[in-house]
Structure 1
């Protein structure tokens, strides 16, 4: 999260500004500082673009009346790259809206990933071009159909829909946040915790203290067994310690154990960071939008 989270890049640096603003808005104003942590993975954005992103995302937040907005990352294209951001009005889990841009200044609402797009997108063998209106025929890339069975939808895929499907899949499997960063209220709404102080150095090195930023797939009873001091208001999400295959996350420690950096081997280019004993964390994706199918041979 550079997502404007201070961190995807979400890049999530929560440092107070002169005015008293909720820390959930800090990612927009500290996006340049947050991007510095992405350099440990060899990816970042120039100072010029970081200023453009900051200003355009502030406008995006105000125009769409979003409570928070985050820079998600960048998908590389042959002609133009896609900058991706997301935000929400009330609920930080089920109310997410995604936006994309080819210049970092003008943003368009990303469509909801359709069943057709989610099925066809993984089979696309070509790279993204950078043209949202481009129509791509995926028929030759599909596996042979058994018997007379036919797909219930067309094999022509619009690149805008392919982008939406790729962002959805990468987010569900690669977007990470530390335990306690999100809080579930009694009403069921999920919000960013205002009392989150960060993980300790000991906790920051353990996968079970990092959670997927998605609706939980596992039963709450399974998550209950992960932590001795279980708290449903913060332990309702799935931990990355249970990801399959095991070992799909690499860990890098810097600054005498205070800075912890995670990289996804499943989605090459997805990087997450957290500063132990501080509320600073974030993630960002810089890649081609393709799953690493060679991961079984890397572990």
Structure 2
């Protein structure tokens, strides 16, 4: 959701019964604009909000298209509802992937809260390493050999980083035709895009994932020189599993459609027919509906 259209586009997310209040919108607009003063992005988006028990987390993503082969880079930021100060979201630690997928408890709102502590032997090793660092190193010691990655407990901030990127990978979407490839294979907004027609705006095959292609078919297609003459070079969401994990709804005016994820309840993609208005956002508790295959 473009930060300059936050106040107007939030109405599309309201259709799932969630929203941002006036204070949240004002503080978010100011905080997100501050990111643009320190970082250079081609585009910055309001990604969404993950609800917590004590405090909530707000997420933003910066996009850089220039000089990026076939797909832009994404840089995520997070802020808490008590400060509205955005910091860069850390990279994910795949070591804890199995444990994160099994979490069903709500976020507390305390980003330092330890979810998976270090084993006792690793804690002892870390303490010994800290003591060793306080001692003087021999002059003939090899500096590179003494560089070790300190073990780290898994905190709620680590979980937040994992969940945000998982939702982005599984759900981020755009209408077909909204982006194009340049002759140098850089992704760009398609200025000639006039939006899906009234007849097709509510069809699931109108939308594709906003991520680097993951299917072999699309990987080969986007690598071809003639891919720049087509717009369907990204993975279509209609083939996502489990089948039926998307719900497409059209509003009473029959002019706007929302694409809702049943796998990640709280995610909404939206598009207004015959216009360049489209986007997506997530407002929810950050818990995946892993039982969905058994419910469909």
Length-normalised TM-score, structure 2: 0.80
* Structure 1 residues 73-101: Cα deviation after superposition (integer angstroms, max 9, x where no partner): 11111111100010123358441100000
Distance 1:170 1:48 in 2: 26
**Secondary structure class of the residue paired with 2:199:** helix
* Structure 1 residues 48-97: Cα deviation after superposition (integer angstroms, max 9, x where no partner): 21111111111112211122110001111111110001012335844110
Q: Is the 8 A contact 2:76 2:89 kept in 1?
A: yes
Q: How does 1:81-160 map to 2 (within 5 A)?
A: 81-90=56-65, 93-103=71-81, 105-137=84-116, 156-160=153-157
Choose which of 169, 180, 193 in structure 2 pairs with 1:183.
180
Q: Is the 8 A contact 2:46 2:61 kept in 1?
A: yes
Distance 1:288 1:170 in 2: 12
1:267 aligns with 2:264: yes
Q: How does 1:158-197 map to 2 (within 5 A)?
A: 158-197=155-194
Q: How does 1:25-44 map to 2 (within 5 A)?
A: 27-44=2-19
Taking a change above 3 Å as real, the CA distance of residues 172 and 232 of structure 1, as seen in their structure-2 partners, is farther
Distance 1:119 1:155 in 2: 17
Q: Is the 8 A contact 2:268 2:281 kept in 1?
A: yes
Length-normalised TM-score, structure 1: 0.79
Q: Which residue of 2 aligns with 1:46?
A: 21
Q: Is the 8 A contact 1:114 1:161 kept in 2?
A: yes
Structure with more of its chain in helix, by fraction? 2
Distance 1:119 1:233 in 2: 38
Q: Is the 8 A contact 1:120 1:138 kept in 2?
A: no
Q: Residue 245 of structure 1: CA displacement?
A: 1.2
Taking a change above 3 Å as real, the CA distance of residues 255 and 249 of structure 1, as seen in their structure-2 partners, is same
Distance 1:221 1:252 in 2: 27
**Structure 2 unaligned spans of 5+:** 119-149, 222-226
- How many residue pairs align between the two structures? 258
The CA RMSD measured in Å over matched residues stands at: 2.6
Larger radius of gyration: 2
